[in-house]
Structure 1
């Protein structure tokens, strides 16, 4: 009886020790990185025992929320300027910022053959609506406006733009048929080396500023082992394999 009780107490102590080692991390994730982050979080949780809680949205909106005291501990932005700004303003752990992915922009339609491989459909201007993300808060939206400017199409398509709050909503406008085509993150329509559905033009990188996406350990996560472990995991080869599979560069 005593030995049985001792074994039970030992099992309970090990269980509580395990739970003490495990932790939870609150992560603000740029909308373009939602799908790869789901895959990364699942693998990270398996290997570490930590729990990842994600919020998905626009980088600019997350900046405002962080400044207003949101409980995020890790920030995965869609640019490098917003994390750099938070860093300079003292909202993050010094030296924690790094580029976890370099994004690509695509002009996409769910309709096969609608978007040609050179993007000539833009200059033809036969569509009624063109979806983009809000360029003031979403770096992929800003990149889309830079492409239109470089191609001399800003004025020609101005009355046809349908603007999403973030890149997820911009993609949804196209997927739902509210816009015939739109500028989206390549990661939203790309998997395992190919466009997952419809047709797309992979926008040449020289048509917009590089979309370097930086990660940051925020002050609220400075003492959280799970937050630090997640950022370490993001730098590793397992995460890199997932990130590349969604069309990002490293």
Structure 2
């Protein structure tokens, strides 16, 4: 003979489950390269819903994060804009060995808030009909280094270098362009991509052969060796659901 639980017992069971989940929920401090901050905000929300763990995000330039981590900054996971910086941290002994992996491959774009300025082949760079060209500082930001590689391979470095306006991160570089302080500049495609297209302004997606691949690596930092939330985030970034979100922002996975 079947018996049914009372609503009071069911409610008590659900409360016990939620308490158990929350009691095991943790927090992970994440250093996120500026180009990936938008996608990571979405992923952090999905991660918290799926696991109960909270990801606290800090955005900035990869080079600055490297210096901060070396100086003892309290980060658990580092999502860099390149693969070289996490590899350096590996060699420095600042990471959990074997944790590093490529979570995304970025794309560089020449973008202007002016919908008429940038043509589909980037020929605007040759005309020079602009006063300022924004890019992230190449020594701090991999997207800035990729921009300089692109300009150099186009044979335009000497012509364009006097017009450079450098941001310390790709986020600041985007701000220069979006506010009109620079007529155009190089940013990450993810910053201007929405719904499968450039969301505003005009742009040229830089061909991959004009710069080194922008492989973006994640790594678990040494202080988070026993942090369950940090390990869970690293695994979450490898899931099909996370990859779908990352692709939706214009990255390759």
TM-score of the pair, normalised by structure 2: 0.93
Q: Answer yes or no: is 1:115 the counterpart of 2:121.
A: no
Q: Answer yes or no: is 1:143 the counterpart of 2:146.
A: yes
Question: Offset at 1:16?
Answer: 4.8
C-alpha RMSD of matched pairs (Å): 1.7
Which aligned segments of 4 or more residues in structure 1 are displaced greater than 2 angstroms?
7-20
1:120-139 CA distance string (max 9 Å, x none): 00001110000000000100
Matches within 5 A, 1:51-70: 51-70=54-73
SS at match of 1:92: coil
1:211-234 CA distance string (max 9 Å, x none): 000000001111111111111110
Question: Offset at 1:14?
Answer: 5.5
Q: Answer yes or no: is 1:204 the counterpart of 2:207.
A: yes
SS at match of 1:184: strand
Question: Offset at 1:12?
Answer: 7.9
Matches within 5 A, 1:1-250: 16-250=19-253
1:180-208 CA distance string (max 9 Å, x none): 00000000001221101111000000000
1:160-196 CA distance string (max 9 Å, x none): 1110010000010000000000000000001221101
Q: Relative to 1, partners in 2 of residues 1:47 and 1:8: Cα closer, same or farther, differing over 3 Å?
A: closer
C-alpha separation between the residues in 2 aligned to 1:47 and 1:38? 14
Unaligned runs of at least 5 residues, structure 2: 1-9
Aligned residue-pair number: 245
Q: Which range moved further: 17-26 or 48-57?
A: 17-26
SS at match of 1:33: helix
Aligned counterpart, 1:4:
none
C-alpha separation between the residues in 2 aligned to 1:11 and 1:132? 52
Q: Relative to 1, partners in 2 of residues 1:110 and 1:19: Cα closer, same or farther, differing over 3 Å?
A: same
1:95-146 CA distance string (max 9 Å, x none): 0000000000000001112100100000011100000000001000000000
Unaligned runs of at least 5 residues, structure 1: 1-6
C-alpha separation between the residues in 2 aligned to 1:246 and 1:182? 19
Question: Offset at 1:10?
Answer: 8.4
